Amino acid sequence: MSDILAIFFLIATLITAIFWIINKKQNYRFKNKKNILFNKNRKYYNFFKKTKCISYIASFFPTFIVIFIIRSFIYEPFQIPSGSMMPTLLTGDFILVEKFSYGIKDPILHYKFFDTGKPKRGDIVVFRNPYNIKIFYVKRVIGLPGDQITYDAINKIFKIQQKCYEEKYCQKNISTVHKKYELNENIKNKIQLTNNEENTTLYYVNPNNKKFIPVTFNVFQEKIDKKIFNILLSDQITDQINEYYQQEGQKKGCWIVPKNQYFMIGDNRDDSFDSRYWGFVPEKNLVGKVITIWMSFNKEENKWPVGIRLNRIGNIY
């Protein structure tokens, strides 16, 4: 949908630009005509009617070019369709993505003209699925190029070691700190896991009868580098380690992030289909950095909204 809109605004901008140029030329010709009697001379009367039509279409050009520039190079809105980033982003949140955070790209072929920055650990990023660029994901950056990442699936804690490319050992350990606290009013303490989410790993609390039952999620405060944010964890769900993406030369649950790629993960750690399962995100797939929530509807996944969460607008929790 994002690509289709980009193409639509590009075509609309080009068409209205052509009419805008024609209109400017006709206005110039019209101003240089002398003693034109529209009611008596049919030729000039028709010319006047045609000019009005062209002028009407041309009037859309400033609007289209402003929308095209802002949406293609500066900011783009996205909707959160699922709960994989809870409690930071909820289903029904509409986020604004800063597209120039990690480079200026053309909106159609996504070729980067020049860099404007690099992702940092803890950034919330919108990116294209590495295996299907038509699908957009929003996750948090955990691993940068060169990081060795080890995930303790029992305690559900990441261990990050920096600068591991061509070295037999890593130079710097980056600690992650967890602190548990009570759920706030914006977060439901029970979430119904369902199997209607496309391209996600299914979690069964009882694998014998495959029933989906309410699962209690606890909120933890996680700190990586200087970034502090909230995550969800559940004691009732065990990670499916056998489904983890296994990097060549590494054991399952351990990854070394390649050059120009990133390791992404959802804040809802037990209900997120992320880099643990499909690997790394190339830099060329990055769309931009999430900077704010500009609208939030109170809704459940795949259901109509039932209200507006005004207290979430303008915040990233």
| DSSP per-residue string spanning 173-222 | EE-EEEEEE---TTS-SEE---S--TT-----SBTTTTB---EE-EEEEE
Domain end, chosen from 49, 71, 93, is at 71
If you average pLDDT over residues 4-31, what whole number do you get? 82
Residue range of the domain that includes 63: 2-71
Instruction: Identify the active-site residue in 84, 272, 275, 296.
Output: 84
Is 272 domain-assigned?
A: yes
Q: Which of 50-64, 98-112, 125-139, 174-188 has the highest mean pLDDT?
A: 125-139
Which residue would you say has higher pLDDT here, 60 or 51? 60
Residues 84, 67 within the same domain: no
Number of domains in the chain: 2
Q: Do residues 231 and 88 share a domain?
A: yes
Euclidean distance between CA atoms 147 and 118, whole angstroms: 15
Q: Residue 180 is part of a domain; what is its CATH number?
A: 2.10.109.10
- The average pLDDT across 228-241 equals 84
Q: Does 291 lie in the same domain as 170? A: yes
Both 106 and 170 in one domain: the answer is yes
Q: Is residue 34 exposed (0-12), middle (13-18) or buried (19+ Cβ within 10 Å)? A: exposed
Lowest-pLDDT range of 11-25, 28-42, 123-137, 220-234: 28-42
CA distance 210 to 201: 14
Tell me: pLDDT of 97 over 90.
yes
Pick from 27-31, 34-38, 111-115 the range whose average pLDDT is largest: 111-115
- Domain end marker among 17, 52, 71: 71
For 232-243, b/e burial (b = at least 16 CB within 10 A) is: bbbeebebeeee
Write the burial class of residue 264 (CB in 10 Å: 0-12 exposed, 13-18 middle, 19+ buried).
buried
Give domain status of residue 317, yes or no: no
Instruction: Give the chain's mean pLDDT.
Output: 79
pLDDT at 216 over 70: yes
Q: Among 71, 98, 127, which residue terminates a domain?
A: 71
Tens digits of per-residue pLDDT, 293-314? 999 998 877 778 888 988 889 8
The answer to whether the beta carbons of residues 93 and 79 sit under 8 Å apart is yes
Torsion angles phi and psi, residue 50, rounded to 5: -65, -40
Check if 139 is active-site.
Answer: yes
pLDDT at 317 over 80: no
Identify whether 38 is part of a domain: yes
175 is catalytic: no
Does residue 227 share a domain with residue 102?
A: yes
Stated pTM of the model:
0.79
> pLDDT digit string (tens) for 126-151?
999 999 988 999 999 999 998 999 99
Residue of 105, 139, 156, 289 marked catalytic: 139
pLDDT value at position 136?
94
42-58 vs 2-31: helix axis angle to the nearest 10?
Answer: 150
Most confident of the following: 50-54, 195-199, 263-267: 263-267
One domain for residues 96 and 65: no
Q: Are 253 and 247 a contacting pair, CB within 8 Å?
A: no
- What pLDDT was estimated at residue 184? 46
